[in-house]
Structures are given as C-alpha cells and as structure tokens.
Structure 1
C-alpha cells in the first residue's frame, strides 16, 4: 500500500452520529469521519449530537487521529443537486462548510453524495446532465476556499464514492482526473452490492464477482473502473463492511454448498437484534426489515462461536470465487452474506498489491473486540512500505 498522510496506510472509520458509540481505540484509526452532516436547502448544515463533537475531536487528536466531517449519506444527499445549481445556496454551502471545519477544529471534509447524476434514495433530486460537472466546479471552489483559509493542502478533501465513477448523461464518465487533482482520496463504497433488492442470494462485498452470477461488481472491478477513468490508486481507500445481510432462499442451499446463488423471497427476514421495521418515507412502501447483521451481533448473538465457526443449526461455507463466507440455516432457509477476518485479510492484501492508500470501514461501532479491525493492522505490520 502507498504511504498515507500520517506516514502509514490509511484506516478510515465512519462514526455514525445516531448511535451511542462504544469505547473505541481511536489510535487504531488514522482518520475518523463524523457521519453525517446533512445539507439544508439554503446551504446550511445540520448535525445531530453536535454538542459532543468538541470532546470527541479532542480525543481523536490526542490519539494522533484526524477528525473529518462527512456531509451527505444515503438519506442526506437529497439536496446536493439543487444546492449546487443555485448561486445563493451554493455560496452559502461553501461558506458554511469552511466555517464548520474552523469552528470544530476539524482536519477536513468528506463529501458523500449518493449519487451525482444517478438516483440514490427515492427522495433525492438528481440531474444526469449537470450534476457531475457542477460537482467538479463546486469541489474546485471548496478546495480554493479551504486553502485560502487554512493554508495550501492543510485540510483534507475526500469523497465517498460508489463502485463506478460519477454519472453523466450516458452513464459513468470516462475521465475523473480533474477531480483527483483537488481531492486527497476517495473512499470506495465496495459493499451493498447484494441484498434483498437482487433476485438471488449473492455476496454483499465480493473481492471478485463470479461471471454471470449475481451483480457484476466487486472490489476488483471498482478499483479497475476508477483507475481506468484516471484516478490514481494511491488516492483510493478500499471500503470494507463490518456487516452483512440476511435473505430467505427458496430452497435448502446446503444441498449444493458449492453454489451460493439461489432465488430469494422479495422480503428480507429480520436481521440482528438492532434491525427493526422501517418504512422509507420516500419510497412509499410498507415497513420492512433490512436484514442487516452487524459483525458484533453475529458474534454476541452466537451465530458464530468463533470468528470462523458457526453454531448449529447455522453452517458456515466459503465461496472461493468471490472470497467471501456465508452462513445458512436449513431450518429457516436463511442465508447471510458477510465479511470476517479471513475475507477482510484477503481484501487488505489485495488493496496493498494494487497500491491503494489504505482502507475504510463502515462502520466503527459494528466490530467485536477488534476482530475485524485487527486484520487491517496485521497488514501494517508486514508491509515495509508503511
């Protein structure tokens, strides 16, 4: 891996502000992104639990960790497109971001727009013709304002991005090199590739996809797509999920354990003990479960008795094509795709082999006794370039 801003591989953790966070060893992260500040129509920023931020920033800095505000997110990206089109709201947005960094003594800004030129959440406004060009111009101005206020490149500017480059009117754009000149690095969201929205069981975050099976996206394809469009691999962090998803298969998949693909029910089963019924106000659909299983609950609810051992009736299987584990319960036909220390170590090794700046975690609160985070630090120990 490339040497990051702190002289070692980046380990970026997202810190959700809607969750009571456990005690964390911040010094195991190089960067912590506060998620999320939500843009308002007038170009303002709204952040829950803001009163706690100064104390957390102080703790991060004491641990030698950079503190970054992340703006947007899945449900917080609805207004990026109209804000950037309005001269008034755009100017206010720029000023408010810079002021926020200054007020809270932050080390930079992460923009998580899901997605420029493409529909994300059903409520989000997007414009395939102008979002990406407007985003570039906005980021150029944000870089200029931060450099003017804080000194040249003294504050970080990062982006959370999907598995393909930003969209234009004809799909993903072919050249993102202009973005790379002003952005320090991108955090590749190489997860949520599979879920109940797909017709079959398949891996949430495959290292490589299986041709013709499941969605044709993966860690490998995302790195290739962005680098082919002109983004240097040394300015990428590989996103790694500390969670997975449950789906209900229509058959007992253990009858053919070499095949992790089976038709599924259109409704997700309940995931871990934190998963609750939720009705998305944007989609207008009924309240449903997400099926999400955090690593900590796979462990503390004892589906896994150790990192690599399932408790009966669950059976752990490994898919060699995608380098991912999966669990199956034959009593309920429940399939769970997730990442564990074995799959994460392979991803960290792959990122290192491609020269990436490091890795990113969604999210910090989902680990169990640092079982997953430790895979990242093992990599730091045996790569001299760190």
Structure 2
C-alpha cells in the first residue's frame, strides 16, 4: 500500500468517525416540562443526562398578540438547564390555548406584535429557542402560518445569538394546515405528536402510541410509523423528524385489546407510567402485542385494559429512530416515569445522543467474531443471518422476541474460522420486531430484524 492510499484510508476513517459523532450529538431528546410540575418535579429531579432539550409548557398569545405567561415563570429551571448543557426552549400554544393564532397569523399588525413580544420574552428569560405548538391550523390558515413562521425565523436570525425554532405537529396533517415544503426552510425540526391515538373519544380499547399499526383495521387509528411515512411523503426530510413518545397510557373499560368499551365512565383516562407499574404489583398482567409492538395491562377480572409504554417499547422506538435516520424523540411529559429517583423511560432515550463512535473505539483490535446484518431486512418470511469467526470455537445463535423469550436456536455447536450463514424461516411468527443473539468465546452480539406481514 503506497502512502497516498494509506492517507486516503485514514482520511476516510476519520470522516466516518466524525460523521458518526456528529450524528449522535445532533440527535434531539426533548422532554416537556409542565408548568404545574414545579412542586412534584424540582430541577434536582429532572433526568438531565438523558435530555438535549427541555421544553417548558406553556405560554400562549391572547387576541391582541400579547403573551399569557403567568404560569411560565421558573428561572431556576432555565438556569439549571443551561448549567447541565441542556437547551431550554419555550412551548407556545398547546391544546385549548391556540384560539388566537388564526387571527394573529392573518393580520400583519397583530403578527408583528406577537413576534416582537415572543422574541423579547425568549431573550429576557434566557431561553434558547421556541417550540411553536398551534393546535391546529386549518386549510384556510395554511399560508398565514407560513408567513408567521417565516417572520418569526427572520426575527430570531436578527439576534446576535443563535436560537432554535421547532414546531409541534399533529400525527397527520388531517386539516391540511401545513405547507411542509415551505415551513422546512425556516424550522430546525418538527415534533410529531404521535400519541393519543386512542382515548375517551374512541369506542374501542387501543394503543396510546403504537410503533406500528394493529392487525385489526377497526383499531387502526394511526401509528408512529404511519405518521413518519405521512410526513416523509409530504417532503419532510428524515433529519427534521422528531418522534413523539408518551410516558403515560390510557385505561379502557374492555376485556380485550381492540374490544368495544363497556361504559364511558373513566374510559380513556390517562395513566402515568409510574401508576401502571404499581398496577402490575397489584395483580394486573403485562401483555404483548407483537404486531403493533406495544404493551398493555389486563386487570385480574379481565374488565379493564391499560395501554402504555414501558422500557421495552421505548427502546424499540429509540432503535426505530436510529434505524430510520430520524432526528430524535420528544416525550410528553417529564416526571410521568419517575419512580423514586429513577426515570426508566427517559433513560432509554438518553442513549440516542450518547451513541457516539469514539477514536478509542475505532482503533481497537479486530474482534474474534463479527455478526453481520441479516439480509433481507425487513423480510417475509425468510432471511439469512451471517457471522464471521477469526478462529474456531463454539457458537450459539438464537432468535428472541422483544420480551426476551427464545423462539428458535439456529446454531449450537463448534464452527471453524471463516464466514458462516444460516437461513431463518419466520413463517409461523406474527409480523414485528425480533432479535437474534450470537454467543462466541465469551462475547455476545445482538442484531435486530423486522418481519413484515
């Protein structure tokens, strides 16, 4: 190998390492901090290590373009965010607080007043960005929204420091209120509110925030994957999409998933993660939906269901974000998963911006075993799993479901050095995510595959 070739190889390696670092560091993990959480979630209890952004919710405009901010004063939290290296941003609007947006966006005087007040507020209070949460513009507001966002972006760009501008979006643009192509020029990233797919407004028990659509079309009110595909088809780049996750679930008066609810009393009520965990301790059983990749709880007499997210589903969604090269995740809301001093769900998302390839990792000696990605992936129903051994030894290769249950043993015995492949037929399994684990000479490697049916 000549010097030029070696230099090119080193330059390529450094580029890939740098790209991987930038990709990991650029991920967004945004947690909504509700203003009414001041007494229950002090700054000392926020999972700072797992966050890149803290969104303080909410302030909103009145009919004259002034800001309603009486509930938003929390200077200690904003300062703590800066101290922890987390960007504090202010969420503007929210459900039930967006009535003034249409008139403001349509009137140049009101628009200028609102933007001026908002920018002044952000700068004076120490925020690093704005999260616009207009719920929800209609088709008649579409062009006015674009003008509002453009002028807000221009006002932020005139400031000496850089400020982020993001937008919260419905799971699908069902009112045709967003010119995504135009908005993309001015917005740093878009948070999809991919939760509340079922609740008191639906007559069947269903998942609150499923990764994939259920098999029963009567319960297919949407999913994270469908929302991502919807906005991708509208032209939104992958690196602008932040997926919404929920640290709460919904309770339904039904005995089976997708079952018709028996009564409306308390139906669809929100159940925080920490409360769901207590129900398991009280005899509720945890069930798994392999199609939607979701979990739910069933009470002892099979009359009530709670659909929610746990560490398993948050981990699957984090993997989905990485695999699909999306920008990151946002969670409603901080504190819902707190058990003692732990935040199990937020911890799963913290890995999104900590998955960094370092120079030290890149210079390690070659491993004695290499697990290659299965091909094809996604697949239906057959895929090939391959691995490479640098020396002979005992190999164990097995397939598992997301709950860790062993489904098939593909290899269990001595194998010589070299490349090996084995076919896996999943014809008897339901569609969904599965894992394969390779054990060799004390090393354990894991891969993930998607069965599409």
State the TM bucket, normalised to the shorter chain.
0.7 to 0.9
* 1:240 and 2:245 correspond: yes
Q: Distance in 2 between matches of 1:49 and 1:6?
A: 34
- Aligned to 1:68, the other structure's residue is in SS state strand
Question: Cα RMSD over matched residues?
Answer: 2.2
- Counterparts of residues 1-386 of structure 1 (less than 5 Å): 7-19=25-37, 20-22=39-41, 23-52=45-74, 54-117=75-138, 128-129=139-140, 131-150=141-160, 154-165=162-173, 167-168=175-176, 176-211=180-215, 212-249=217-254, 252-253=255-256, 260-269=257-266, 291-299=269-277, 302-305=278-281, 311-312=282-283, 314-331=284-301, 333-368=303-338, 369-382=342-355, 384=357
Choose 1 or 2 for highest CA Rg.
2
Contact 1:234–1:356 (8 Å) recurs in 2: yes
Task: Report deviation, 1:3.
Answer: 7.0
Deviations 1:11-65 (A, max 9, x none): 101011022342213232100111000211110111234442x221111000001
Q: How far apart are 1:290 and its partner, in Å?
A: 5.5
- State the Cα distance separating 1:197 from its structure 2 match: 1.0
Secondary structure of the structure 1 residue equivalent to 2:207: coil
Query: Structure 1's 159 and 378: CA in aligned 2 closer, same or farther, altered over 3 A?
Result: same
Q: How many residues align?
A: 332
Q: Secondary structure at the match of 1:213?
A: helix
Q: After alignment, is 327-336 or 237-246 more displaced?
A: 327-336
Following superposition, the deviation at residue 372 of structure 1 comes to 0.6
Task: Note if contact 2:93-2:133 (Cα within 8 Å) is conserved in structure 1.
Answer: yes
Once the two structures are superposed, residues 123-156 of structure 1 have per-residue CA deviations (whole angstroms, 9 ceiling, x without a partner) of: xxxxx32x111100110000001101235xx100
Contact 2:21-2:356 at 8 Å conserved across structures:
no
Q: Residues 199 and 74 from structure 1, CA distance in 2 versus in 1: closer, same or farther, beyond 3 angstroms? A: same
For the 8 Å contact 1:40–1:79, the answer to whether it is kept is: yes
Higher relative contact order (CA 8 A, sep 6+): 1
What is the CA–CA distance in structure 1 between the aligned matches of 2:91 and 2:20, rounded to whole Å?
Answer: 23
The question of whether the paired residues in 2 share the 8 Å contact of 1:108 and 1:156 is answered with yes
Shift of 1:88: 2.5
Contact 1:164-1:222 at 8 Å conserved across structures = yes
Quick check: 1:44–1:96 contact (8 Å CA) kept in 2?
yes
